[in-house]
A and B are shown apart, each in its own frame.
Chain A
Amino acid sequence: MNENIDRVDNPIIKIENLSIAYDKDKFAVKDINVEIEKNAVTAIMGPSGCGKSTLLRAINRMHELYPQIETKGDILLKDENIMDMSTIMLRRKIGMVFQRPNPFPTMSIYDNVIAGYKLNGIKLKKNDRDQIVEESLISVALWDEVKDTLFKKGSFLSGGQQQRLCIARTIAYKPDVILLDEPTSALDPIATARVEDLLVKLKKDYTIVLVTHNMSQAARISDKSMFMYMGNLIEYGNTMKMFTNPRNPKTEQYLTGKFG
């Protein structure tokens, strides 16, 4: 293993020799070995096109949508190979939030929150449903804003509210891990700050993996940081340590704004 890639104390996900190519033999992610700490916020940083989204989307097997994508290596969730799980189970355990808020436009706010149950045909008692909706919306700090309009369409909300609704939709389904791909890049600074606060709060119950372009965001909220460059994982460790004392010259150049 690369000496600039630290091990973690309490890994929930282990990524082993992972390579991913969109086109034949043109790898966007190259032979990555890394562990992800449980109940922590892990940030994935790096210049545009370095493979951050590609890596993140491998963790819940999103690439399977596109059969031409080639994936090598293994990903283990709690020591179980994700390829041995059904996508239904896997994605129940590993939720995902996207760059642009994408609530289901035909569903009410209420239905959006419990969409995971609804769309998968999981029956819940009304009380349980109400409780899940309320808890999820409270934990994303959206409850007070929408509690009187739960049955209106989710697409009437502001961008920041929509993104928090999407996070609520993900946590309502009670995953172990939440993957977020630049969740604040479409939001204004105030909405961004609220989502950041939320993520820090959520790590008590969830493991959070966050792709971000924004170094100060990574510094503010993450415990561990990965730095990727051209498909390679260059450096990985405690965020504080990486920001104060980067080990690889590329990391240092990136963190000091020399490129990216």
Chain B
Amino acid sequence: MSSATIQYNTRSDYRKRKNRLFYWLVIAMSAITVSPILLIVYKLIIQGYKQINWSFFTKVAPNTLEAMTANAQGEVIPGGILNGITGTFLIVVMAAIIAIPVGIMIGLFLYENQGKRFASIVRDISDILQGVPSIVLGLIAYMWVVKPVTHGFSALAGSVALAIMMLPLIIRSTEETMKMIPTSLKEAGLALGVPYYKVILRVLIPTGFSGLSTGILLAISRIIGETAPLMLTTLGSSAVNWDVTKPTSAIPLLVWEFYNDPNMANLIWSSSLFLMGFVLVLNIISKRIAAKQNR
């Protein structure tokens, strides 16, 4: 009997030790996962906060000479990223205007045609689209828009490239959201004699609203920092531009320009900080919406 007890104790000890080992392993893994984000945010804040002032949001990017003078005198670089903020706003809003209706319609189509051959082909294409490198989409927008439509670099071309990037995300999230809505709700609408398209517009879409908007916000936060496709399409501009057929700046493009100019180094950090903060806010909002939905 005593030998059995001893054996039991050692086994339980072994289990306890194993348990503790895994506990610390999980903690270590989590720390490894979180630390890059913390380090990035820390670095951005430390290096970037000095440049974030009123003129950062109200002035366009300075030229090299201004920056060099300021640096030489140990002052903050004058000017800001207004041309980038307005450009990103213009490009992203237009991309959303293109991608949201198209993406939602395709998502609804996939939802309505579960298990049909054509729908699954469309779904596969959408999945493949998600894997296409963004620079390739930039090239495509260059060929579709820059050359034939706007005859030169333009915000519109950038929006088209970004819209294509957004599409698969919106399509997926629309389909998944619609699948979560019970069929009984659709039938409730139809049983009241409501035509099918109205049931979709006035019952299903409002019911799935938070799911749809979460998907849209996440899609926007995915594309807002895209740089490569914009280099091939919107090019950049040193002034604020609201003409969609003209070259336009964007925050990530400015980061790239600052990077290429040793005098502007400080602005890299502040612009990145701003961009990162914006994406973070979008993510938090979409998480909030999703959480509210599940309550």
* Chain A residues in the interface with B (C-beta under 8 A): 60, 62, 65, 87-92, 95-96, 98, 100, 102-106, 115-116, 119-120, 166, 169-170, 173
Q: Are A91 and B193 in contact (CB under 8 A)?
A: yes
Q: Are A115 and B192 in contact (CB under 8 A)?
A: yes
Q: Are A119 and B191 in contact (CB under 8 A)?
A: no
Q: Are B193 and A116 in contact (CB under 8 A)?
A: yes
When distances are taken between beta carbons in the complex, the residues of chain B under 8 Å from A120 are: 192-194, 198
Min Cβ gap B5→A in Å is 52
Q: Are A116 and B187 in contact (CB under 8 A)?
A: no
Instruction: State which residues 158-211 of B face A: CB under 8 Å.
Output: 182, 184-185, 187-195, 198-199, 202-203, 206-207, 209
When distances are taken between beta carbons in the complex, the residues of chain B under 8 Å from A95 are: 191-192
Min Cβ gap B198→A in Å is 6
Q: Are B206 and A106 in contact (CB under 8 A)?
A: yes
A123 CA to B202 CA in the complex, in Å?
16
CB < 8 Å neighbour of B187 from A62, A103, A105: A62
When distances are taken between beta carbons in the complex, the residues of chain A under 8 Å from B194 are: 88, 116, 119-120
When distances are taken between beta carbons in the complex, the residues of chain A under 8 Å from B190 are: 62, 65, 87, 91
Task: Offer 10 A-B interface pairs, CB within 8 angstroms, sorted by A.
Answer: A62-B190, A88-B195, A96-B191, A98-B188, A98-B191, A102-B187, A103-B188, A105-B185, A106-B209, A166-B188
Instruction: Determine chain B's interface SS by DSSP, over half rule.
Output: helix
A104 CA to B189 CA in the complex, in Å?
9
A89 CA to B185 CA in the complex, in Å?
20
Q: Are B189 and A91 in contact (CB under 8 A)?
A: no
> For residue A117, which residue of chain B has the nearest CB?
B192
When distances are taken between beta carbons in the complex, the residues of chain A under 8 Å from B203 are: 104, 106, 119
A222 CA to B222 CA in the complex, in Å?
60
CB < 8 Å neighbour of A98 from B187, B193, B198, B209: B187
Q: Are B188 and A104 in contact (CB under 8 A)?
A: yes
When distances are taken between beta carbons in the complex, the residues of chain B under 8 Å from A98 are: 184, 187-188, 191
When distances are taken between beta carbons in the complex, the residues of chain B under 8 Å from A91 are: 190-193
> For residue B202, which residue of chain A has the nearest CB?
A119
When distances are taken between beta carbons in the complex, the residues of chain B under 8 Å from A116 are: 192-194
Q: How many residues of B contact A (CB 8 A)?
A: 19
> For residue A97, which residue of chain B has the nearest CB?
B191
Instruction: State which residues 6-38 of B face A: CB under 8 Å.
Output: none
A60 CA to B185 CA in the complex, in Å?
16
CB < 8 Å neighbour of A62 from B182, B191, B195, B198: B191
A119 CA to B187 CA in the complex, in Å?
13
CB < 8 Å neighbour of A89 from B193, B199, B202: B193
Min Cβ gap A211→B in Å is 14
When distances are taken between beta carbons in the complex, the residues of chain B under 8 Å from A173 are: 192
> For residue A173, which residue of chain B has the nearest CB?
B192
> For residue A115, which residue of chain B has the nearest CB?
B192
When distances are taken between beta carbons in the complex, the residues of chain A under 8 Å from B185 are: 102, 104-105
When distances are taken between beta carbons in the complex, the residues of chain A under 8 Å from B184 are: 98, 100, 102
When distances are taken between beta carbons in the complex, the residues of chain A under 8 Å from B195 are: 87-88
Q: Are A90 and B207 in contact (CB under 8 A)?
A: no
A104 CA to B209 CA in the complex, in Å?
13
Question: What 7 A-B pairs come out closest when comparing CB atoms?
Answer: A91-B193, A96-B191, A88-B193, A102-B184, A106-B206, A116-B192, A119-B194
Q: Are A119 and B209 in contact (CB under 8 A)?
A: no
When distances are taken between beta carbons in the complex, the residues of chain A under 8 Å from B182 are: 100, 102
A119 CA to B202 CA in the complex, in Å?
7
Min Cβ gap B152→A in Å is 46
A91 CA to B193 CA in the complex, in Å?
5
When distances are taken between beta carbons in the complex, the residues of chain A under 8 Å from B189 are: 104, 115, 119
CB < 8 Å neighbour of B207 from A105, A115, A169, A170: A105
A155 CA to B7 CA in the complex, in Å?
57
A104 and B207 contact, Cβ closer than 8 Å, known pairs A89-B193, A91-B193, A169-B192: yes
> For residue A89, which residue of chain B has the nearest CB?
B193
Q: Are B207 and A119 in contact (CB under 8 A)?
A: no
A108 CA to B191 CA in the complex, in Å?
19
